[in-house]
C-alpha cells in the first residue's frame, strides 16, 4: 500500500517536472520571440 502510494507520488513528481520543463522552454521561446 505504502509502496504503491510512493510510486504514485514519484510519477506525479516526474510528471510535474516534465510539465515545468515544457512551460519553461516555451516561456523562453516566447520571450525571445517577443524581444
On the question of pLDDT at 21 being above 60, the answer is yes
Global pTM reads: 0.58
Rounded Cα–Cα distance for residues 31 and 29 (Å): 5
Residue 8 confidence (pLDDT) = 80
CA 16 to chain centre: 3
Range of the domain at 26: 1-35
What digits encode the pLDDT tens for the residues 22-33?
999 999 999 888
3-state secondary structure string, 1-35? CHHHHHHHHHHHHHHHHHHHHHHHHHHHHHHHHHC
Give the residue from 18, 15, 14, 20 showing the smallest Cα distance to 28: 20
Residue 1 confidence (pLDDT) = 56
User: What domain count does the chain have?
Assistant: 1
Amino acid at each position: 500500500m505504502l509502496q504503491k502510494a510512493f510510486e504514485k507520488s514519484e510519477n506525479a513528481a516526474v510528471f510535474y517536472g516534465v510539465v515545468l520543463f515544457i512551460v519553461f522552454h516555451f516561456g523562453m521561446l516566447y520571450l525571445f520571440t517577443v524581444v
